[in-house]
Amino acid sequence: MSDQFLAPDDEELTPGISIRNLYKIFGPDAAKHVEKVKDGMTKAELNQKHRHSLGLRDINTDLPAGKISVIMGLSGSGKSTLLRHLNGLIMPTAGEVLIDGQDVAKMTPSELRVFRRNKTAMVFQNFALLPHRTVMDNAIYGLDIQGIKRADSIARARHWIERVGLKGYEDRYPSQLSGGMQQRVGLARALTNDAPILLMDEAFSALDPLIRVDMQSVLLDIQKEVSKTIVFITHDLDEALRLGDKIVILRAGEVSQQGKGEEIVLHPANDYVNAFVREVNRGRVIRLRSVLKPKPAERDWPQLQLPGNTTLEEAALLLLPAPESFATVLGRNGQPRGIVNMDDIMHGMLVRSA
């Protein structure tokens, strides 16, 4: 298999949120124990010797602007703790959370209030709707707090209520809606606030599988329109691979691996990550750019041309009528980069790295 994942014409992602040397220790004397943790004290030792709990250890990552970043891991891995650092609901014991050059941890209480109102919006797992307010009133709640005129806020909310598929339900109450519809209200409320950063904490995990997939589609469609910086928390790798432009996998408060989904599936960094990716449908994740081969000098470029970001599954369907045929794989600039045939595609789907 060709190792083309980080080829020169791959898209460069501009950081939107930069997290540097982030530590979080829970306990009354947390700051006293940071150096011990930096020197290698384990989570278990910190708890046994000092009765403090290690939440995050030395987190360093850049979450791209205008893209969806997924933070995932098992329960207790620190993913929700990390998310809450991004809007200052939890303050780090050490380290920085940089957004537009500002360190969230160094903001004053008044600066934090303005930041939360104008820069971030949040979608929760349990919907967090106000039961006494209608769909419309829930959607404009954030704008009411900001003091926006009702006529303006209702116009904005009406657009997003319709956009998430709830037109006609504006006067309903949360108790009159299904779980999937309530989550759509939560998403409409976050979008109505028009904050550039959208934080989603296991937003779809309480939904039935089919509704969950539908909500993922809604989010992806809307993201094409608004290009917000979205940080999405999940414990489901399939969801992470479908949504994430970048994936950060946490284990016991530490980054186990981070990168694009395709890179993680092709090259899991350790047994923990490998356990996540073992059952993944590789054909829907891996792209032609990762399995292409150089064209032999003696042959012409094949007539069938496919973009390098075509999934193996999509390419297989196109080559299936003539499995002996080759296809030309194009880079982002439209220039030929290599060739593939069905054998290359099936190898990429079935053969896992050691």
* DSSP H helices in the chain: 34-38, 43-50, 79-86, 109-118, 135-139, 141-146, 150-163, 179-192, 209-226, 237-243, 261-266, 271-277, 312-319, 342-350
Global pTM reads 0.88
- Asked, for residue 5, whether it belongs to a domain, the answer is no
> Looking at the structure, do residues 82 and 114 belong to the same domain, yes or no?
yes
> Looking at the structure, do residues 325 and 207 belong to the same domain, yes or no?
no
> Looking at the structure, do residues 77 and 211 belong to the same domain, yes or no?
yes
Using pLDDT thresholds of 50, 70 and 90, give the confidence band for residue 341.
Answer: very high
- Asked, for residue 2, whether it belongs to a domain, the answer is no
- Asked, for residue 3, whether it belongs to a domain, the answer is no
Angle between helices 312-319 and 342-350 (to 10 degrees): 150
Gap between the Cα atoms of 131 and 129, Å rounded: 6
> Looking at the structure, do residues 33 and 176 belong to the same domain, yes or no?
yes
Residue 35 pLDDT: 95
Using pLDDT thresholds of 50, 70 and 90, give the confidence band for residue 9.
Answer: very low
Residue 3 pLDDT: 40
> Looking at the structure, do residues 215 and 332 belong to the same domain, yes or no?
no
Using pLDDT thresholds of 50, 70 and 90, give the confidence band for residue 12.
Answer: low
Using pLDDT thresholds of 50, 70 and 90, give the confidence band for residue 81.
Answer: very high
- Tell me if 87 sits within 8 A of 106, measured CB to CB: no
Report, as an integer, the average pLDDT of 177-183: 92
> Looking at the structure, do residues 235 and 253 belong to the same domain, yes or no?
yes
Using pLDDT thresholds of 50, 70 and 90, give the confidence band for residue 8.
Answer: very low
> Looking at the structure, do residues 47 and 130 belong to the same domain, yes or no?
yes
**Which run of H or E residues covers position 122?**
strand 120-123
Degrees to nearest 5, angle at CA 136 with 134 and 140: 115
Report, as an integer, the average pLDDT of 330-334: 91
Q: Is the pLDDT of residue 7 over 60?
A: no
Domain of residue 176: give its range.
15-281
Q: Is the pLDDT of residue 6 over 50?
A: no
Q: Which two tokens stand for residue 145?
A: 């707090």
> Looking at the structure, do residues 139 and 48 belong to the same domain, yes or no?
yes
Among candidate residues 258, 281, 304, the one where a domain is terminated: 281
Q: Is the pLDDT of residue 304 over 50?
A: yes
> Looking at the structure, do residues 45 and 171 belong to the same domain, yes or no?
yes
What pLDDT digit, counting tens, does each position of 36-56 carry?
A: 999 999 999 999 999 999 999
> Looking at the structure, do residues 305 and 269 belong to the same domain, yes or no?
no
Q: CATH number for the domain including 47?
A: 3.40.50.300
Report, as an integer, the average pLDDT of 189-198: 93
Residue 338 pLDDT: 95
Residue 4 pLDDT: 39
Average pLDDT of every residue of the chain = 91
Q: Which two tokens stand for residue 190?
A: 């976050």
Q: CATH number for the domain including 293?
A: 3.90.1280.20
DSSP assignment, residue 293? B
Q: Is the pLDDT of residue 310 over 60?
A: yes
Among candidate residues 254, 281, 308, the one where a domain is terminated: 281
Residue 10 pLDDT: 54
Report, as an integer, the average pLDDT of 202-224: 92
Number of domains into which the chain is organized: 2
> Looking at the structure, do residues 96 and 129 belong to the same domain, yes or no?
yes
- Asked, for residue 55, whether it belongs to a domain, the answer is yes
Residue 128 pLDDT: 85
Among candidate residues 266, 281, 296, the one where a domain is terminated: 281
- Asked, for residue 4, whether it belongs to a domain, the answer is no
Amino acid at 14: T
- Asked, for residue 191, whether it belongs to a domain, the answer is yes
- Asked, for residue 318, whether it belongs to a domain, the answer is yes
What pLDDT digit, counting tens, does each position of 86-109 carry?
A: 999 999 999 999 998 899 999 999
> Looking at the structure, do residues 307 and 324 belong to the same domain, yes or no?
yes
Report, as an integer, the average pLDDT of 273-297: 92
Residue 58 pLDDT: 97
